[in-house]
Amino acid sequence: MTKFYFGESPLETQTNRVTGLGGFFFKSQNAKELVTWYAKHLGLKTDQYGSTFWWKDSNGIDCSTQWSPFTEDTTYFQPSEKQFMMNFRVANLQVLLETLKQEGVTIVGEMQTYDYGKFGWILDPEGNKIELWEPIDSVFQ
């Protein structure tokens, strides 16, 4: 079995799937004011994108999780009609997307690569768009 920072995977596979929570994104009536409120009242260290939480995985490697409000008119969550989107950290996005496609999971768009990681998107059975992220955490430090 594959070891994750939160325990054993139930999947008998050589490929890591989800390795952690990458972020939680949600629509907001006024994202800028909300970020300011969370900084003032809950002490979140915020920037224009929300707040980044730093932690270490089981190997002591620095990792991040993002909390981000989006404007309520964002199209980033499409085709989902939901008010939120989850982001999960993954170890090998390209292999995972190929595996998920073979398993009949709906893939949204094409994998995209940036200097801070690779991204892919899927839909769960209830229409929730899920962002999958193979991060390069060192870029943020």
Q: Please write the tens of the pLDDT for every residue from 89-137.
A: 998 999 999 999 999 999 999 999 999 999 999 999 999 999 999 998 8
Determine if the peptide bond prior to 69 is cis (ω within 30°): no
Cα→Cα distances 94→70, 86, 99, 119, Å: 27, 19, 9, 9
> pLDDT band for position 138 (50/70/90)?
confident
Please name the residues in contact with 71: beta carbons below 8 A apart, sequence gap of 6 or more: 27, 28, 31
Q: What are phi and psi of 133, to 5 degrees?
A: -130, 120
pLDDT exceeds cutoff 80 at 7 = no
- Segment 46-69, tens digit of pLDDT: 998 899 999 988 888 888 899 999
